[in-house]
Amino acid sequence: MKMSMGPVGRHLLGLAVAGLTLATGGAAFAELGQPAAWEWTLQQSASPVMDNIVWFHNFLFVLITLITLFVLALLVIVVVKFNASANPVPSRTTHNTLIEVAWTLVPVLILVGISVPSFRLLFLELDVPKADLTIKATGKQWYWSYAYPDNGKFEFDSLMAQDKQPRLLGVDNEMVVPVNKVVRVQVTGADVIHAFALPAFGVKIDAIPGRLNETWFKATKTGMFYGQCSELCGKDHAFMPIAIRVVSDQEFASWVETAKKKYASGGTNTYASTAGQTQ
């Protein structure tokens, strides 16, 4: 027995297939630490700090939704039960002690319930643990410079690469870090205020000239992760990406040895090319 599908059925099937493709494609892009097509959630977490940010975001979303539904229910009850036709003689009650205590105490308890995990998250972000690696990131108009004081004191610039993907995020020289290691990032600005931000790691901190700010992350996944300058810093602010490649300990050690020679001699090879020369 054959079943024919009409135009409406084919249209719905096409929409379902397109939605599935976008969903799976978005998940694949999210694995790479970059924005996904049609993304409406936070980027997929790749650090303990971002895990906590995602949890706190979801907690607040549920709480706000419950409060909104509760207020909506009260408004509907008032409109239906206390309109002029249903309640021609209005109540002359001036106050109700129980209700007044409740509407004072309940919001206080809600705010306390929000503040406790909020302060825990702030302390987690700002209390830098003992670092396995320190990197200094200097924001300049309009690119980043990265220095590795713990690994030979070499430094290199990272500029947006026009011929690399993803568009507006690919760079010529990525910051390279080992996986599952605490990386302390010291951030400053060379000219104006910039901001070092990487969504997948839950990192966002200002780069201010004459001041050294500190943040940290611990990447739990290998791969490429992208961010951008998040402080308006001039005409090319939109072309100042951050790219971090997370690799294994062995790959990182190999890259460091090659980078010491390449960047000490003024080379500007990308990680891909230097890694290829070490193999």
φ, ψ (nearest 5 deg) of residue 92: -110, 20
φ, ψ (nearest 5 deg) of residue 62: -65, -45
Query: Which of helix, strand or coil describes residue 199?
Result: helix
CATH number 2.60.40.420 is the correct assignment for the domain at 133-278: yes
Q: For the chain, which residues make up each domain, given as ranges?
A: 48-85+96-126, 133-278
Q: Which residue has the tokens 């610039």?
A: 157
| Closest C-alpha to 194, from 149, 151, 144, 153 | 144
CB atoms within 10 A of CB 33: 26
Q: Give the whole-angstrom CA distance, residue 127 versus residue 145.
A: 24
Return the structure tokens found at 178. Answer: 């080992």
Tens-level pLDDT at each residue, the chain (279 residues): 444 445 545 554 454 444 444 444 434 334 468 888 888 889 999 999 999 999 999 999 999 999 999 999 999 998 998 888 888 888 777 888 898 999 999 999 999 999 999 999 999 999 999 999 999 999 999 999 999 999 888 999 999 998 888 889 999 999 999 999 999 999 999 999 999 999 999 999 999 999 999 999 999 999 999 999 999 999 999 999 999 999 999 999 999 999 998 887 554 444 433 343 333
Return the structure tokens found at 9. Answer: 């059925």
- Which DSSP symbol is given to 209? B
Q: Give the whole-angstrom CA distance, residue 273 versus residue 172.
A: 10
In this prediction the pTM is: 0.78
Q: Give the whole-angstrom CA distance, residue 146 versus residue 140.
A: 11
Cβ-count burial 238-256 (b if 16+ within 10 Å, e if not): eebbbbbbbbeeebbebbb
- Which DSSP symbol is given to 74? H
Q: Give the whole-angstrom CA distance, residue 44 versus residue 53.
A: 11
